[in-house]
Structure 1
Amino acid sequence: METKNAQPTFGELINGNKPVLVDFSAEWCGPCKMMPPILKELKNMTGDDVVILKMDVDRNPKLAAAYQVQSVPTLMVFRGGEVKWRQSGVMNARELKGVIDQFKG
C-alpha cells in the first residue's frame, strides 16, 4: 500500500489547536516585501508554537474574498477554524508575538 505525503490544506491548518498566522499579501505590494524577515524573526521567537503561512491574494482570490481581504498585507490569526484577530499593515515581530501569545494553549 502506497502512502502519499500530502500537505495539509488551508482548512486543515486553521482548524488545528495551534494559532495560525496568515499573511495575506501580493507580489506587487511594497509593504508586503517588508514582511518575510519579520515573519522569520517571529518564527525564531515562537518556534513550533505557531504556524505561519503566506497567502498570495492574486493566486488565491477565492480565499482572499472569503475572508474579505481588502488591502495587503492583512494579517490574521486563526485558531480552531475561527479568525481570532486581524489587522492590515506591517507589524514588527514583537507586536505579532504579543498578539499570538493571547491565543496559545
Structure 2
Amino acid sequence: MNELITATTTDTFDADVLTSKTPVLVDFWAEWCGPCKMLAPVLDEFATTYKDRLKIVKVDIEKCPELTQRFQVRGIPALLLFRDGLVQGTKIGALTRTQLAAFLDPLV
C-alpha cells in the first residue's frame, strides 16, 4: 500500500474522513476480495497523482463492520468520495484508471 494511503478504523474514521479539509476517497475492501486487489495498484497510483487534491483512506470491512453498516456498503470494492463530511459520489466494483479519473475529476 502506498504510504500516502491511510488505513482507518471505526475509532479514527470521523477524524480521518469526516473532518478532513481535503476531499477523501474511502475504499471499502477485504483481503479475500479479488476485485479489491485489482483496484489497489490503481489507488496507489492515484494517491500520488492526486496527493495535493485528494486523500485516500481504506476501510477493511472485516475489521470495521460498523462502518460498512453505517454507510450501507453492500458490495466491494466500494469507493465513497467525501467532501466536508458528506458523501459526494459512490462507485461499486473495480475501476480502471480511466473510469476512476472520470469519477474523481469532476468532484475534486
Normalising by the smaller structure, the TM-score range is 0.7 to 0.9
Contact 1:20 1:79 in 2 (8 A): yes
> Is 1:69 paired with 2:73?
yes
Q: Distance in 2 between matches of 1:36 and 1:44?
A: 13
Contact 1:19 1:78 in 2 (8 A): yes
TM-superposition CA deviations, 1:1-40 (whole Å, max 9, x none) = xxxxxx9921122222211011101111111111211101
Segments of structure 2 that go 5 or more residues without pairing to the other structure are 1-7
Alignment match, 1:9: 12
Larger Rg: 1
Displacement of 1:87 in angstroms is 1.3
TM-superposition CA deviations, 1:47-73 (whole Å, max 9, x none) = 231110111101000000000011111
> Is 1:52 paired with 2:56?
yes
Q: Aligned to 1:43, which of 43, 47, 58?
A: 47
Percent identical among aligned pairs is 38
Q: Distance in 2 between matches of 1:100 and 1:45?
A: 12
Which stretch shows the higher mean deviation, 79-88 or 36-45?
36-45
Runs of 4+ residues deviating >4 angstroms = none
Alignment match, 2:30: 26
Q: How many residues align?
A: 98
Which stretch shows the higher mean deviation, 91-100 or 45-54?
91-100
Segments of structure 1 that go 5 or more residues without pairing to the other structure are 1-6
Q: Which amino acid aligns with 1:46?
A: Y
Alignment match, 1:89: 93
Please tell me the root mean square deviation across aligned C-alpha atoms, in Å. Answer: 1.9
Q: What TM-score results when the alignment is normalised by the length of structure 1?
A: 0.82
Q: Distance in 2 between matches of 1:97 and 1:13?
A: 22
